[in-house]
Each structure stands twice: as structure tokens, then as C-alpha cells.
């Protein structure tokens, strides 16, 4: 291992057990290099929840002897860290983009925890060999967005990478305008993506590519999916595992109104995690065609298209894995069979989640039609997605006192007709209003990370006030609770929220 030029923090670093298994794969998979230091680092936000996950004490970031602010700004390392940037490729907006890689991210290492091994990664830590024409930096705006989204999605129960902290710096960074730099620390069991397999399938010769891709697939199976090893076709079993997890993830996104915005294959996790928060957004007014990414001019990643894009990306992964699965028509049939569960897992998972959002305790054949009927009314009247489902918890099956949800709709007659069907459905399963309301409030969040809430936190942070980002984090960590003191965070978005634009630079 080469000696890094980055200064090492004092030996009073926390007693963490560094495993660094990804580094054992060898340098075909990465380039080893230090982060580029930033001047005058300062704390922007920290996640106590993520710190506990890693086994760090809650004062970890305040201890002068650990120099955590230097470590997580990229200005130093703790003993045991092994900084590197991994190489991968991918399809971007449906077009093969060739070699990509961690252009502004740096893997620090892997820590053994009570919750299993977890990798740490800096994002915005400077140029790497895969930065292409980029500067390798992240700005304060995008770093706060990634930090808050990671923790908010976790609190919603959605598989995701986590975020430990954000550190800002006055270092100027040019995007559409001049901004300041920041570094966010991400945490995950693995950052391996579909694009890692695509890279070795496309970029190396047949023999080298096969051996290297097999090494990577074996690594994933051995460390993250050991049950696949006993399958008749272990690599097809890995593909099916990823297929099922991705299908479940898409259902979870759709059920909370989450739009990723840039579902390129290099942004898809082999473990089925939500990864790479850029131009994302949670739906305000329900619009199936909503495009949260203003760089997505064709609407490829619109909200309603996300499930099909998930399957498209899995086909790209299957194509990359095909040489490992076998040869000829038989291999193609095995790969297609591994993808087939998506077509049943996704709709079943989505219906189960939407039925839970309606408080249904049993299943009937007409439930999908009941769900679709409500969504069509919501789309026609641009009803607020989160508020509508939260208010629906107060629906009374045997009465007309449902004004709080009815008043959200312009088409009152349409809602009344749907409400009659809904009430009859509830009565058939002898639903108890109070019990149903409690169930619904456990799955219908009151608080989601709306863009206007982010915008307020970002603008205040730009002025040097980081309290709003930390306050918003605390609210989002309890998305299903009422939190009366913070009820304003659950209000309808202000009119100016419609002017907010997020793009790939976000």
C-alpha cells in the first residue's frame, strides 16, 4: 500500500475496527489517493442517529483530540483509513456514458459495528482520476440536500445510504453562480453500483473483464449476499436478489411521493439502497408526470416512470452479468428469469403500501381500483400528496364529518362518490376508526423533506446560520409524529415553492 501524503490525525482517534474489505479487491477497482484539503472547515450539521450506528459517542465531533473536523473535511485521516476512489461506468439518461467513477467522492474505509460492517465516504473531497472535467467539489447547497435526504429517508423506513455530517468551507466553487464548498460524509454497507459491473463488462477485454467482474460478483455474494452462493446459478441469484430489492425500493419511493431525479445505472445500488441524492424531490401537488430534475428535459425520470426505469436499469445490469451466468440462449433465459420477479414484486409491494396508507387491514380484489380512483382524483385536482393521506386518517366510515380531507378536492362530487366506496370497503372489514387512524399515521408521514423547507435551511446556511438545517433534521427524524411545536413544517408549500428548480448540479 502506498504511503499517503495526507497528514494523519493524532493517535487519540476513536477505537474503531477498520476492515477495508473493498480495498482488498485490488487497484483495478480504484485509485488510491488523499482528499484535497479545504481551508477553514466548520461544522454545518451532524446526525446523532448515524453516529450511534457507527458506535461513536455523541460528542465525537466536539472532541479536540480526535480532530474530527479535519478528518471529515478531508484535511486529515484517522489511523486505519485507506482513502480511495472507485471506478465504474454506466448509462446516463438511457445513453451509454462510458467510464465514470467517484469523480468527487473518496472512500475512507469500512468499520466493523454492532450493525455489521459499514463503509464511510466523503463527497466533495476534491478531484480524482475519474473527475473528468469536474472540479471534484460539492457545494454547501447540494451537501445539505444530500445530508438531510439521507437521514429523512432512513426515518421513513426506506433503504438508503446514511449521512454522518456536513462540513462547510469558504473555498469558492463555481456552479451556475459562485458558491462555497462543503463535504458530506456518507455511510452504507456498500457503495457498489450497477455501474461497477457495467464497467468491467464494457471496458476490459473479454478475459480480463470476465475475471475482474467475477471477482467483484464473488465479493458482493461473499460479503453481502451469502445465500446466493448455494443457488444453482449464484450470479443469477445475485441478479434476482437485486431485482427483488429494487422492486421493493421503487414501491417505497412511489408510496411516499419521492422522486429521485437521476436514475442512471451508476446511481443504482447493488444492495437496493437509495443512493446519490441530487435533484430529488417529494411531491407537493400530486402529478404523476412530475419531473423534479430540470436537467431531465425529456422527462425520462418523471415520478410515474420510475418503476419502469428501475426495470430498465436491471436489464442493463443483467446484460453486464450475462458472461458470468453462462453462454448462449440458456444464459439469456436464466437472466430473464432472474428479472421476472420484478413484474410481480413491484405491483404487489406498491398495492400493499397503498392499501396500508388507506388503513385497510384485509385484502379484496377491488382494492387496486379503490387506490387508483383516489389517485386519479388527486391528480385531476393537484391535491397535496402528503397532506391528503395524512388527513385521510381522520376519515369516519359512518358519517359525513370528513371535511378536512374533502376540502382538499375541487371535484367534491367526485370525492364524495369515492368516499362512499371507501366507507363501504371499511365497513366490510368492520374497521374501527380510531384503530385505523393509528395504523395510518404510522405509514403516512406528516413531515417530508419538501424543497421549500430545504431552500430555507440552505439560504440560512449560506448566511452562516446552520441552526435551521439541524432543526429540520430533528423534525424529519420523527416524520410520523404530530410534533405540535413544529406543525408549520407540515403546512402547504408557499406559492414561491413553485419557482424552485433543482438540476444535476444540485
Give long-range contacts, CB 8 A cutoff, 24+ apart: 489-496: 489/447, 489/453, 490/386, 490/387, 490/390, 490/446, 490/447, 492/284, 492/384, 492/387, 493/284, 493/384, 493/450, 493/451, 493/452, 494/452, 496/452
- DSSP lists the bridge partners of residue 178 as 174
Best CA proximity match to 468, nearest among 45, 42, 156 = 45
Distance of alpha carbon 171 from the chain centroid: 27
Answer yes or no: are the C-beta atoms of 141 and 179 closer than 8 Å: yes
SS3 461: helix
Best CA proximity match to 354, nearest among 368, 373, 336 = 368
Burial of residue 424 (number of CB atoms within 10 Å: 0-12, 13-18, 19+):
exposed
CA–CA–CA angle 56, 448, 46 (5° rounding): 20
**Grid-cell match 444535476, residue found:** 504
114 part of the active site? no
Question: What CA–CA distance (Å, rounded) separates 32 from 9?
Answer: 18
Non-local (6+) Cβ contacts of 294 within 8 A are 279, 501, 502, 503
247 to each of 25, 92, 308, how far by Cα in Å?
29, 20, 10
SS3 472: helix
165: number of Cβ within 10 Å: 22
Non-local (6+) Cβ contacts of 316 within 8 A are 91, 194, 198, 265
SS3 405: helix
Answer yes or no: are the C-beta atoms of 46 and 164 closer than 8 Å: yes
Active-site annotation holder among 102, 266, 296, 384: 266
Helices (H), 273-384: 306-325, 328-339, 342-357, 367-381
Any idea what DSSP says for residue 86?
E
Give long-range contacts, CB 8 A cutoff, 24+ apart: 489-493: 489/447, 489/453, 490/386, 490/387, 490/390, 490/446, 490/447, 492/284, 492/384, 492/387, 493/284, 493/384, 493/450, 493/451, 493/452
Question: What CA–CA distance (Å, rounded) separates 264 from 90?
Answer: 7
Best CA proximity match to 193, nearest among 65, 101, 127 = 101
Half-sphere exposure of 408 (CA within 13 A, CB side): 25
Would you name the residues annotated as active-site residues? 266
Amino acid at each position: 500500500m502506498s504511503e499517503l501524503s495526507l497528514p494523519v490525525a493524532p493517535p487519540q482517534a476513536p477505537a474503531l475496527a477498520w476492515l477495508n474489505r473493498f480495498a482488498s479487491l485490488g487497484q483495478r477497482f480504484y485509485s488510491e489517493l488523499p482528499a484535497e484539503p479545504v481551508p477553514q472547515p466548520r461544522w454545518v450539521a451532524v446526525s446523532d442517529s448515524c453516529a450511534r450506528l457507527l458506535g461513536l459517542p455523541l460528542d465525537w465531533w466536539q472532541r479536540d483530540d480526535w480532530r474530527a473536523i479535519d478528518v471529515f473535511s478531508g484535511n486529515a485521516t484517522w489511523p486505519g483509513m485507506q482513502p480511495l476512489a472507485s471506478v465504474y461506468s454506466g448509462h446516463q439518461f438511457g445513453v451509454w456514458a462510458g467510464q465514470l467513477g467517484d469523480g468527487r467522492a473518496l472512500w475512507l474505509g469500512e468499520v466493523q459495528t454492532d450493525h455489521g460492517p459499514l463503509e464511510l465516504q466523503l463527497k466533495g473531497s476534491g478531484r480524482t482520476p475519474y473527475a473528468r472535467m469536474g472540479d471534484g467539489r460539492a457545494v454547501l447547497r447540494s451537501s445539505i440536500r444530500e445530508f438531510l435526504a439521507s437521514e429523512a429517508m432512513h426515518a421513513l423506513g426506506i433503504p438508503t445510504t446514511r449521512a454522518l455530517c456536513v462540513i462547510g468551507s469558504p473555498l469558492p466553487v463555481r456552479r451556475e453562480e459562485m458558491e462555497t464548498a462543503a463535504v458530506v460524509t456518507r455511510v452504507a454497507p456498500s457503495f457498489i453500483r450497477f455501474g461497477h459491473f457495467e464497467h468491467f463488462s464494457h471496458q476490459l477485454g473479454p478475459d480480463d473483464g470476465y475475471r475482474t467482474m467475477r471477482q467483484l460478483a464473488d465479493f458482493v455474494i461473499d460479503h453481502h449476499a451469502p445465500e446466493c452462493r448455494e443457488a444453482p446459478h449464484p450470479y443469477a441469484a445475485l441478479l434476482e436478489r437485486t431485482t427483488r430489492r429494487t422492486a421493493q425500493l421503487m414501491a417505497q419511493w412511489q408510496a411516499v411521493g419521492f422522486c429521485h431525479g437521476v436514475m442512471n445505472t451508476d446511481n443504482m445500488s447493488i444492495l437496493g439502497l437509495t443512493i446519490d441524492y441530487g435533484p430529488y424531490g417529494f411531491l407537493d401537488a400530486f402529478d404523476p408526470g412530475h419531473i423534479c430534475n430540470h436537467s431531465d428535459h425529456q422527462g425520462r425520470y418523471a415520478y410515474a416512470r420510475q418503476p419502469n426505469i428501475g426495470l430498465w436499469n436491471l436489464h442493463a445490469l443483467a446484460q453486464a452479468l450475462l458472461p458470468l451466468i453462462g453462454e448462449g440462449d440458456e444464459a439469456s433465459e436464466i437472466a430473464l428469469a432472474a428479472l421476472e420477479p420484478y413484474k410481480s414484486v413491484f405491483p404487489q409491494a406498491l398495492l400493499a403500501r397503498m392499501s396500508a396508507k388507506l388503513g385497510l387491514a384485509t385484502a379484496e380484489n377491488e382494492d387496486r381500483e379503490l387506490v387508483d380512483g383516489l389517485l386519479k382524483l388527486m391528480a385531476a385536482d393537484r391535491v397535496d400528496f402528503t397532506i391528503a393521506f395524512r388527513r385521510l386518517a381522520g376519515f369516519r366510515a359512518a358519517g359525513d364529518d370528513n371535511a378536512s380531507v374533502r376540502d382538499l378536492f375541487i371535484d367534491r362530487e367526485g370525492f364524495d362518490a369515492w368516499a362512499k366506496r371507501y366507507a363501504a370497503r371499511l365497513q366490510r372489514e368492520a374497521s374501527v376508526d380510531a384503530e385505523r387512524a393509528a395504523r395510518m399515521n404510522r405509514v403516512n408521514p406528516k413531515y417530508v423533506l419538501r424543497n421549500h423547507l430545504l431552500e430555507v435551511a440552505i439560504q440560512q446556511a449560506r448566511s452562516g446560520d446552520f441552526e435551521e438545517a439541524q432543526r429540520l433534521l430533528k423534525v424529519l427524524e420523527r416524520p410520523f409524529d404530530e410534533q405540535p411545536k413544529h406543525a408549520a413544517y407540515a403546512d402547504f408549500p408557499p406559492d414561491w415553492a413553485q419557482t424552485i428548480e433543482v438540476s444535476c448540479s444540485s
